[in-house]
Amino acid sequence: MNTLKLRSLLEDFFIEDIGEQDITTDLIFSDDTVGEIVFLSKDEGIFCGEEIIKTGFKLLNPDLIVKVLVKDGDQIEYGQQLALVSGKISDLLKGERVVLNLIQRMSGIATLTNKAVRALNSDFTKICDTRKTTPGLRMVEKFAVRAGGGYNHRFGLYDGVMIKDNHISFAGSISRAVETVRKQAGHMVKVEVEVETEEQVIEAVNAGADVIMFDNRTPDEIKEFIKLVPSGIITEASGGIQLTNLGAFSDTGVHYISLGLLTHSYKALDISVKVKWNKGEE
């Protein structure tokens, strides 16, 4: 993840939550009261959020001692200690919720991605995400996909051309849309075209598409369509694919299967924060 962008995101999130002050914490604890908290897993799955914990708490107070006990992508079990943070209690309490919210969601995405990879069970076809992410959280959600064993599709409208059905309808044809893009885009920009019929596959190939995506096609249809695609063109399948039918696409021959569900239909992993010790107990 981009460290500068992560710090900026966390600053915004802390400001949103803390506002002018944490009125509860500031009224109860003095500045010199210290303690330690522990992040505990109350679930089983794939952990993600190592840098969130480290960067988040250090952003609030560089003097906090942060020990993350697991790595991104690690399998975690119920009751497992994930991280320890010690220092001023006021900083611990101000930071815990924002950090916890993020790592629960990221771990949920990583866990679901891992399930998808195992359900596909392919040494050739890769699982990747889409742009169906939470606004403002795309960077961390796509990082979580990678932690779960998946791959990233484009990050936004700016880093890859993807000519979809509405683009084709407005432009008049696949050939016209690709030709127009090729005249203006730099040589580093790849062009992907979404297709639904055999005729569109042939047109996309002849137009010089770099990537062809089979949209809402069955495994049998994809097996037929892919015969029309030269080996130098990357292929992708998307639409109507769920964990329950993912295995049926494992031998279609596509390079990638993109799943929006990875970042919009996940269940946050259950993680809690508990007091490990405080100054009054020493």
Catalytically active residues are: 97, 132, 164, 194, 215
Q: What whole-number distance in Å separates Cα of residue 260 and Cα of residue 131?
A: 7
- Count the neighbouring beta carbons within 10 Å of the beta carbon of residue 77: 9
Q: Which two tokens stand for residue 248?
A: 């049926």
Q: From start to end of 79-182, where are the E strands?
A: 81-88, 126-128, 161-163
Q: Which two tokens stand for residue 236?
A: 């992708």
For residues 84 and 122, is the Cβ–Cβ distance under 8 A?
A: no
Q: Which two tokens stand for residue 182?
A: 């090729």
The set of residues, in sequence order, having a beta carbon less than 8 Å from that of 134 and lying 6+ positions away, is 141, 263
β-pairing, 34-41 vs 211-215, is unpaired
Q: What whole-number distance in Å separates Cα of residue 97 and Cα of residue 46?
A: 20
Q: What whole-number distance in Å separates Cα of residue 63 and Cα of residue 214?
A: 52
- Count the neighbouring beta carbons within 10 Å of the beta carbon of residue 125: 22
DSSP string, 186-199: -TT--EEEEE-SHH
For residues 260 and 134, is the Cβ–Cβ distance under 8 A?
A: no
